[in-house]
Structure 1
Amino acid sequence: MALSPYLYWPLAISGWLSVLAAVTVTLPYLLGVRNLTNGWPLTAEKALAAFSFFRYWRFWVHGLSYCYLYKPSLIPDSPSYTADKDITVIVPTVEPGNSTFGRCLDSICANGPFRIVVITVGAAMHQMAEEALAPIRRAHPSANIEVHHIKAANKRLQIYSGYRVKFQSDVGTETVAASLSASDCVVGIANLGEYPRFLQQCIRWERTSFRSNPRSLLSARAWRRHPWSMYGVQLATITNFAVLGDGLQIYLYLQTAWWADGQGQWGLVCLVAWMLLTKLVKLIPWLWRYPADIVFLPAYLGFAYYHSWIKLHALLTFWNLEWAGRDLEKINDMALK
């Protein structure tokens, strides 16, 4: 169900009012200001309320929207497009010899697309891809899989090359680009890699956010078309640090009169419980289906806080564009041989 514009714009404005509250109330309090120019006193209670509004308004809007407005799109009985006639999947890879490559391609073939275009780097890697695809072709004899290569490792150029292949033959009306490597695969399966490559991937993704989100926030067109997303996605992604946010909330609570009077112990317990609960909401459907996985909650919460340091490192090195865990010079040298 689409959200009515009569509700969408007020929600978007309210989101940015929460930002204004944090900037004009919480930030001055942290800087030592205790009275604004109009004589309005700044207290820890007001600073805590303003910061909580900023942190959790998005949580409430997204949660209620999911519960009452979200409706999955079902496949129609007579779809306008079908995978076997209209879908081309482009798979850029620099590691076709890795086991993830075979699992990903097997997953894609199981969905029966019209064609799969694998784009790798150099003739030697092209041959590696052909060898890796041999068992896939035997398992899926009807799959239409092509392998092409370019001269240098560059995911954007690899995808572009795949599009060129698609449009030169002028078939397959829809194209899906599958990002594939030993550590990430987004078609059919989700293999995010093992330590330490997974952490390297996290840093790479966060660096991308710190480079691209500010550009979106400066786009007038994006503001006109997606005002809520500017607050709820673009700004939130680069400002949500669990360690800093939770730590700041606890600090502000400890400055309140409730705590000073010795009556705020249970309030602190409730605040900590609330902060942990908000981090677990997304897991509820999964834990409902797989309750035994509840034993992993401590590790999940630990990583949620550790991720703040990953984001901070990404922020301080956002200009680094290298692929995580990949030796591009070695790959390019091999492509030239």
Structure 2
Amino acid sequence: MWCNWTVIFIGLFIFRYLRLIVHIFSFWYLYKPTPVPEDPTLHPSDCTVIIPTVDPENSDFKECIYSCLENQPGAIIIVTVGRKLTALTKRIIAPIQARYPNTTISIRTTKHANKRLQVAHGVQYVETAITILLDDHVFWPSARFLPTVLAPFENPQVGIVGTNKRVRRTEIGFTSRSFWNMLGAIYLERHNFEIRATNAIDGGVFVVSGRTSAHRTKIIKSFAFLTGFTNERFFFNQFGPLNADDDNYITRWNVSHGYKVKIQYCPDALIETTLGTYPTFLSQCLRWVRTTWRSNSCSLFTDRTVWYRQPWCVYAVYLTSFVNFALFYDAALAYALCKSPLGSDRSLILLAIWIFCTKMVKLTPYFLREPQDLIMLPGYFLFAYFHSLIKLYAGLTFWVTAWGSRNLEDVSQDDAPSTGNVSYIKKTKTNPVTDSIKSKYPRVEVQIPPRLSARFAGQYGTAPA
């Protein structure tokens, strides 16, 4: 029995920390960003930026637009909801457009506050080779952002490019708001570590964040992609269609259709964003973790492409996500050690030191930038263990798809039909694309923008060999 506990402890220890050791090596020694070529075939003018928004009056929105325009994309398409927000957005954008005449800014309208529908509506107007999806509270600090994220597309097998992310420290001092702001910053700092490390090993990532992502237009404009994107369901087709999880769907689509994923982790590819404080941040955490349960299950058991294309990520990302509950895992390690012949006060202290040091690995870059926040480090560890309970609750309520940080139903009421059906799209004339799908799948609510021509049918966007 004693030997069995030793085996259990060693097994738990290796399963958790093998990936960390490999990721440390990969993060520092294997990863290399794609350099910007001296004579690129793609330029910022070859990009169209799509920005879905339901809150154009937010101060972040204007800064988002300005930072985007400093990179001189070919066009910006802002997709908002209803007559009132459309009129408001046009008033806000008019003086900005006058200052940047070289970039065409257009405002498009949907009836419902649904990010997937807004993106699908906007993409039909894209005429450039590359499409950038940009959230309305995200900023590009570098004027060389677009050339940097375009560099990987020189490889025709790359279909999607992600970036490194940073949360702005908008609150300072030893206050509750500052603490929640710090938690959000650390949350994304940990993501940066993971996506850089795994992308360098087998090209995989758990997701290319939708805050800012670059795409080959032919992929996300294809008929097959848009059909699935606007009608994704989960758990044996019992729930959906989904509004959230849009970035996970796009990432999975690229992987399953043979395209490579590239993360550009360098100063010029950095994006900055704002995150909510309490209680909004908790709602965001809950939504993110529910997404993880749904998307990782889909990758492993429904799609299954990752098993042969990203074998390391199967272990280090997908399978690990189902057991990575710090509160329970750390307790299991300590208990197994105590029950084994290796157990002693000294070994428990060494294990505690080891756990502390390994938890600091992903946080070190953040605290080197923000050393004043070290005073709140104990609070972070308490939240990290509390997050295990959030994760457990999210797993038990995985079918809930509410956005959490925004009340989108209230926004959709402007110009929405009286039925309140969020999947309703008013059709003014027959659309051969949607009618063809409806004839085969009468229970699926088809939400392809009407301007999307039938000539896209069958374009699955398979990566070139």
> TM range, normalised to the smaller chain?
0.7 to 0.9
Give 1 or 2 for the bigger CA radius of gyration. 1
Task: Give the equivalent residue in structure 2 for 1:239.
Answer: 323
Task: Give the equivalent residue in structure 1 for 2:180.
Answer: none
Report the count of equivalent residues: 289
Say whether 1:200 aligns with 2:283: yes
Say whether 1:222 aligns with 2:306: yes
The residue correspondences of 1:22-33 to structure 2 (distance < 5 A) are none
Change beyond 3 A, Cα 1:192–1:271:
same
Say whether 1:75 aligns with 2:36: yes
> Which residue among 84, 104, 116 is the counterpart of 2:64?
104
CA deviation after TM superposition for structure 1 residue 325, in Å: 2.8
- Whole-Å Cα distance in 2 between the matches of residues 181 and 69 of structure 1? 32
> Which residue among 380, 385, 402 is the counterpart of 1:300?
380
SS at 1:336's partner residue? coil
1:93-132 deviation line (CA, Å, top 9, x unaligned)? 2222222222222222222221111111111111122233
Amino acid at match of 2:363: L
Task: Give the equivalent residue in structure 1 for 2:136.
Answer: 180
Higher share in helix: 1
- Whole-Å Cα distance in 2 between the matches of residues 128 and 281 of structure 1? 46
> Which residue among 282, 289, 295 is the counterpart of 1:212?
295
The residue correspondences of 1:79-158 to structure 2 (distance < 5 A) are 79-83=40-44, 85-134=45-94, 136-137=96-97, 140-158=100-118
- Whole-Å Cα distance in 2 between the matches of residues 114 and 293 of structure 1? 41
Task: Give the equivalent residue in structure 2 for 1:52.
Answer: 13
5+ residue gaps, structure 2: 139-183, 185-208, 213-270, 418-465
Does the Cα contact within 8 Å between 1:95 and 1:181 map onto a contact in 2?
no
- Whole-Å Cα distance in 2 between the matches of residues 175 and 71 of structure 1? 24
Amino acid at match of 1:72: P
Q: Which moved more, 1:185-194 or 1:278-287?
A: 185-194
Change beyond 3 A, Cα 1:107–1:186:
farther
Say whether 1:287 aligns with 2:287: no
Task: Give the equivalent residue in structure 1 for 2:340.
Answer: 256
**How many percent identity over aligned positions?**
37
CA deviation after TM superposition for structure 1 residue 185, in Å: 8.2
- Whole-Å Cα distance in 2 between the matches of residues 78 and 203 of structure 1? 45
SS at 1:298's partner residue? helix
- Whole-Å Cα distance in 2 between the matches of residues 185 and 194 of structure 1? 20
Does the Cα contact within 8 Å between 2:133 and 2:211 map onto a contact in 1?
no
CA deviation after TM superposition for structure 1 residue 135, in Å: 5.3
SS at 1:193's partner residue? coil
Does the Cα contact within 8 Å between 1:185 and 1:191 map onto a contact in 2?
no
> Which residue among 389, 392, 409 is the counterpart of 1:309?
389
SS at 2:362's partner residue? helix
Say whether 1:273 aligns with 2:273: no
CA deviation after TM superposition for structure 1 residue 180, in Å: 3.5
- Whole-Å Cα distance in 2 between the matches of residues 138 and 195 of structure 1? 38
Amino acid at match of 1:108: C
With structure 2 as the length reference, what TM-score do the two structures score? Answer: 0.58
1:180-235 deviation line (CA, Å, top 9, x unaligned)? 36999824421122221111111111111111111111234321111111111122
Does the Cα contact within 8 Å between 1:250 and 1:268 map onto a contact in 2?
yes
- Whole-Å Cα distance in 1 between the matches of residues 330 and 356 of structure 2? 9
Task: Give the equivalent residue in structure 2 for 1:18.
Answer: none
Task: Give the equivalent residue in structure 2 for 1:159.
Answer: 119
Does the Cα contact within 8 Å between 1:92 and 1:178 map onto a contact in 2?
yes
Does the Cα contact within 8 Å between 1:104 and 1:185 map onto a contact in 2?
no
Amino acid at match of 2:110: I
